Amino acid sequence: MEFFPTELKKTPHPLIAALGGTDYQAKIISHISAINEDYVPKLHFTALPVDHRFSAKKELREKHGTLLNQTQRDFEGYRVQGILKSHWLKKHHDILPSVVLFFEAFDPRWNQKDWLDQEAKLRAQVESLRKTLSSRECRVILLLIQQLDDTGLTPSNITEERLSGLRKRLETDSKGLILLRSRDITRGSQLLLKLEFMIRTFALDYYKLQAKRVKRYRKVLNKFGTFQAIQVRHSFKIAHYYEFRRYTTKVLQHYENAYRSIVSYSQKEVEARVHGSAGISLVQIKTMAEYINFKLCYHLIFSTNNMKAALDQFHRHIRAFLELHGDPTCLYEHWKWVSRQYHLIAQLLSEATSLRGTLSSSGLDSPVYKEPYLYYSVAAKYATYRRKSAAKLLGLTASTAAQPLNDFVVLSPTFVGGDPIVSLVNPNPPNTLNLVIKYRQALERSTPHAKQTIQLLEKALHHVAVHVSEQKSSRNRLKTRLLVHIGSENLAAQDYERARLELDKAKALYVTEHWWSLAAQVLKQLLICSFHQADTLGFIDISLQLLSSVMKKHVLPKERQYVQEKLFIAWEDATKLRGPFAARGLDCIPQQSHEVILSLSHRVFDISVKFSRVAACIREQASVRVSIQSHFPGPIVLSKVTIFFSDARYNTIVTHDEHAMELSDRAAHLMENAAFRLSLMFGSGASKEFGIPLQIRKGEPILQYLGMKIFIDRMRGSSSDERPALVFCTSDLMKQPVMLKAIKPYLLEGRVPLMGKGPGSPSFARRKTFLDAADSIDSVSAKTNSLSLFEKDYNLHIHHGQSLLVTSQRARAKLEIITSQPVLAGDFKVQEFVLRSNEDSIGEAFYTLKSDPAPESDAFEDAFFFEMSSEGLRPLMLDASCQPKEEFSLKDIGAFCEQRFRIVVRSTKAAITNVSIQLTYLTKLRVVNKLEEHFPLTCLDPFKVDGVLHPHTSQSAPQREQLEAVSGKQTTFLGALVCQSAEPLGIKSIGCHKSSSCMEHTFISGDCPAGEVVSSGDVRDFILQLFSADSVEDAPLGRLEVTWERLKSDRDDGIPSNVVTTHLTLPAISFCKVPVMVSIDVPQCATMGLPVCLSLKLKNQECKVQSVRVRTVQVSPDFLVEGRTNTVIDLLPWDDICFQLSLTPLKLGPLRLPSLELKLGASDTALLNSDEQFELYVVPPAQMA
């Protein structure tokens, strides 16, 4: 708001003039001002000398007739020259008071003569003031200051009489003449409080009367309807008078009336200007509208806190005057005015933000509308329009002889926005052009347009930073746009270093966000900066960015052609560009090679380098496919191309030879030191592809493509070695070569330390490694991305196809087992294997055998591997580690062929034995490969034994597996011999060997004839009758001896039959002693209808009394039971008792007897198994007879 006069910007306060002695009026005014701080409005006191005289009001008409007639006569033929006088605001703010305080001393000791002289003097001074201010309704207050206390000096009635007489002579009241004694001039004095209130009331009444006076004239002029400019003036004055009184509602109302009138008047003036009858200049109208708009926006923001209304008023203001350009030869003044409007609202919003913090967004279409940075940036935009318009109309860029401002004498204009009064210091020669126009043009030429625009943009950028910090949101695009604008203005101000700095920041942000169209516009300005700075390398770098592939869509083809042409001129000889380069001379020509990284923003070449294979073996041939595409709009010639690998022995140089044929994988002429010749001439957007053969050598396990350098030599120079070159490097060259890290041993085992191996462990499902995937290149390429597996295992970060795994020759052959049946313990078994060569050609092949666990000794009984000899099967010779030391040769086979071989094994016990076969062979390339495979062989016993005891004891089901019986009672073991062999076996014999002498047993074999053939799942039964008088724990029953022979098959290949004796261990049994022995005697048969006796004998086997409870558990409907069916029997130590139960059968045939329950009373131990059942055969009475 620095472009506004101070009177418009500051808040108006009622002006109070203080005339008189300066020694005591300052103290009184300070006390009154302190009291006034608590009231509205604040009073503005100004101290003036006693002899100061105020200007008299000019009378425009004679005092006769009515106001309407007088006004009509006064305005006949009147031509309005302006809207508001330039000094009107200053007059009411600083010159014309609303109240005049006249200070004079008063001494009560004056005699009558002195008093009369002083009274005459006071009357003359007051009358003089009244005469000057009589037409302005200004109130004069005479303040008499009595510094001496009159107590005891003079009677008090004399002072009152003198003051009363002075009031009559001055024709005033007690408010117009006030006596202040020294005791009253203190802070908080009641008299001073009344004086402050009286002054404030007089001041407000003064501005109220002024407003009424203007309203009266406006009402009269409204009847004529022809002086709309004066209506604007009257509304503005009324609003400003209300502003003195802080009457905000009326202030906004009358400023709004003034604004509507001036908008309407501006439209009429535009129409009148078209017809050549314009009155007031458009500049005056726009300036006055600017004043009124400022007042409206200010009060809406700070007085009523109505942000939406303030912004609506501002946008209405812009819409009304944006298209009113005025004189086309002074278009820059219009853009200056528009820029000032946005600058004004931005300053108001900025000040409101600093006072209140966050502004309200209520009612706004977007919260952005209340942000100051928006209006600062728009103000900067129109300031740029002003600069460009001035440059076009006034030729600011040319070296024109502009007249300096010192040649003009300028006086302020009469009206706001009017033309100043201009004259020349030296009027000779005579004027040939309007001095006002020449002065405005000289003023515009001397204005630093770019600097003013930069200041606006820096303020906008500051407020953007504040907004981002408060909202915590990124506004990169907005900040970048402001940086671009700042750079452009610095470029216009010819501050190339600062412009390039700001534009570089903006370009970096645009490139980061991939806003290529905006980046292209910035690069064009940067190119201009580098040209004016005569920076050759910077000029080349920016030109390459404009020619990159990402800019192809955003730069016109003609511009790209022009940039390429200037690029190579700058590289060959920058002095040919002329301008600043010519001024620098040879210093601007680079004397050394210049390297450019082919990043995304400099990509003038697209390069693709891929290995033809994922992995290759030493001494094999591999190839690298190279593709180079140029994005230059015109033809170019490369001098050479250098390709770099992680192993420097593979580095390749391709030099330019215009007569050379294009290289391919097969038709390539390999030169010494890996050098090729090829035509490297590229047309517009052309591409070239060629293959480079590589002979794989022994070295690092990873061969990686590192990058490429493309050279364009300067044509000047004595030899190609001395010529500086423009070198394009791929970004991969900036990276470190990939180093192969050793694999942790626990990763090979598929586990993570301290995390287990179970399903819940991260290492449960180990991922495939690259070596696993490389077993089959076809499967890797077809199903899996081998490179991704490779990267995961070796922590590599490389692109697909840009690395080659260099390995020793790996075995491609596969070894598989054909035999699926398990080995039977003690028997010989032929295991058949197949060897498939796959891609390898197998020659001079042999294999060795190993077993895990190894045999205990080299004896025949412990041997595992056997071979056929003339004498039959013999074990293989073993080394010190009990592993076979013989090597077995195989036939030579070609690729994708197979051959089979067999080995004979025998295991003496049932277990799993891991057989390792290590195969060694020679490939077609005379590379020795080794292949080792592991095969688990399962050995089973041909039979297993199962069985149960009869009768069962009273134990639960889990306890029955322990085979427990009762001592002193015969028990039967019902056994079953189960065959487990998948092949048929012939049983020779079955026998049993007793292993314990503490019990008696009898072996009874089932029906098993010699030579019987059994197969998997066949069962043969046998019986063991057991008896032990004493208690025995875990006594072995013995061993079951089975002699058998496996039937011969076609796969035995002459292996003689072998009779094998298998010993199967029977389970152990325990005999326990019960406290009471129970025996039941059941008759063999009975007659239906006749009772029969069931004898039950109980014997106590301990030295204590036993109680036995006898109860029939299940009552059968087949019998009538009589006797002790539910009783308790007490047995003395070592006593026995026998009792009978009477059973009368009611049916014929075999009947199941009722179940009995016998339990010890103390421990509730069952003495009889409830599951054991007894049967009785019942016959008819006649048959029994």
Q: Which CATH number fits the domain that encloses residue 14?
A: 3.40.50.300
Count of residues in the chain: 1185
Residue 1014's pLDDT is 83
| Same domain? 848 vs 925 | yes
Weakest mean pLDDT among 501-515, 659-673, 832-846, 1014-1028: 659-673
Task: Evaluate whether residue 476 is within a structural domain.
Answer: no
Among 1054, 1072, 1090, give the residue marking a domain's end.
1072
Task: Evaluate whether residue 25 is within a structural domain.
Answer: yes
Residue 779's pLDDT is 42
Task: Evaluate whether residue 563 is within a structural domain.
Answer: no
Residue 1057's pLDDT is 73
Cα distance between residue 546 and residue 541, in whole Å? 9
User: Does position 1104 have pLDDT exceeding 90, yes or no?
Assistant: no
Task: Evaluate whether residue 505 is within a structural domain.
Answer: no
Residue 959's pLDDT is 44
Kindly list the distances between the CA atom of residue 252 and the CA atoms of 9, 68, 263, 283, in Å, as whole numbers in the listed order. 16, 28, 16, 24
- Residue labelled with tokens 């500049």: 283
User: Does position 977 have pLDDT exceeding 60, yes or no?
Assistant: yes
Q: What are φ and ψ of residue 976, in 5° steps?
A: -140, 130
User: Does position 245 have pLDDT exceeding 80, yes or no?
Assistant: yes
Question: pLDDT > 90: what percent of the chain?
Answer: 30
Residue 796's pLDDT is 41
Residue 674's pLDDT is 67
Please report which confidence band the pLDDT of residue 960 belongs to, taking 50, 70 and 90 as the band edges: very low
Residue 633, preceding peptide bond in cis (omega within 30° of 0): no
| Same domain? 145 vs 180 | yes
Residue 422's pLDDT is 82
Distance of CA 644 to the CA centre of its chain: 36
User: Does position 664 have pLDDT exceeding 70, yes or no?
Assistant: no
| Same domain? 189 vs 111 | yes
Please report which confidence band the pLDDT of residue 524 belongs to, taking 50, 70 and 90 as the band edges: very high
Average pLDDT, the chain: 82
The secondary element (H helix, E strand) that includes residue 566 is helix 557-573
The more confident residue out of 1143 and 150 is 1143
The more confident residue out of 661 and 128 is 128
Residue 1060's pLDDT is 86
Model pLDDT for residues 816-829, shown as the tens digit of each residue: 998 888 888 888 88
Model pLDDT for residues 395-405, shown as the tens digit of each residue: 754 344 456 77
> Count H helices, E strands: the chain?
27, 51
| Same domain? 1067 vs 1081 | no
Cα distance between residue 386 and residue 287, in whole Å? 17
- The CATH number of whichever domain residue 892 belongs to comes to 2.60.40.10
Residue 998's pLDDT is 65
| Same domain? 22 vs 152 | yes
**Residue 1123, domain extent:** 1076-1179
Model pLDDT for residues 682-712, shown as the tens digit of each residue: 998 899 999 888 888 888 888 989 999 999 9
Q: What are φ and ψ of residue 201, in 5° steps?
A: -65, -45
Task: Evaluate whether residue 312 is within a structural domain.
Answer: no
Among 896, 916, 934, give the residue marking a domain's end.
934
List the beta strands (DSSP E) in 4-138: 15-19, 44-48, 99-105
CB 978 within 8 A of CB 990: no
Task: Evaluate whether residue 229 is within a structural domain.
Answer: no
Burial pattern 79-114, b for ≥16 Cβ within 10 A else e, equals eeebbbebebbeebbeebbbbbbbbbebbbebeeee
- Give the residues across from 513 on adjacent strands: none
Residue 522's pLDDT is 93
| Same domain? 821 vs 891 | yes
Give the mean pLDDT of 443-471. Answer: 90
Please report which confidence band the pLDDT of residue 774 belongs to, taking 50, 70 and 90 as the band edges: very low
The DSSP annotation for 1020-1056 comes to EEEEEEEE-SS-EEEEE--EEEEEEEEPP-GGGTTPP
Q: What are φ and ψ of residue 969, in 5° steps?
A: -135, 135
| Same domain? 969 vs 912 | no
The more confident residue out of 263 and 421 is 263
Task: Evaluate whether residue 122 is within a structural domain.
Answer: yes
Give the mean pLDDT of 1024-1034. Answer: 77
Number of domains in the chain: 5
Weakest mean pLDDT among 17-31, 703-717, 777-791: 777-791
Burial pattern 858-895, b for ≥16 Cβ within 10 A else e, equals eeeeebbbbeeeeeebebbebeeebbbeeebebeebee
Weakest mean pLDDT among 528-542, 815-829, 876-890, 1069-1083: 1069-1083
Model pLDDT for residues 208-231, shown as the tens digit of each residue: 999 999 998 888 887 776 678 889
Whole-model pTM: value is 0.63
| Same domain? 1057 vs 1173 | no
Cα distance between residue 308 and residue 363, in whole Å? 6
Q: What are φ and ψ of residue 937, in 5° steps?
A: -105, 125
Model pLDDT for residues 1150-1176, shown as the tens digit of each residue: 888 877 777 777 666 777 765 566 788
Per DSSP bridges, beta strands 1068-1072 and 964-966 are parallel
Residue 642's pLDDT is 94
Cα distance between residue 92 and residue 96, in whole Å? 5
Among 900, 916, 934, give the residue marking a domain's end.
934
| Same domain? 959 vs 1092 | no
Task: Evaluate whether residue 324 is within a structural domain.
Answer: no
Cα distance between residue 1069 and residue 973, in whole Å? 10
Q: What are φ and ψ of residue 786, in 5° steps?
A: -60, -30
List the beta strands (DSSP E) in 853-911: 865-869, 872-875, 888-889, 898-906
| Same domain? 36 vs 163 | yes
| Same domain? 1084 vs 1066 | no
Please report which confidence band the pLDDT of residue 962 belongs to, taking 50, 70 and 90 as the band edges: low
| Same domain? 1002 vs 893 | no
The secondary element (H helix, E strand) that includes residue 587 is none
Cα distance between residue 303 and residue 325, in whole Å? 33
**Selection from 303, 275, 297, 286 nearest residue 232 by Cα:** 286
- The CATH number of whichever domain residue 1066 belongs to comes to 2.60.40
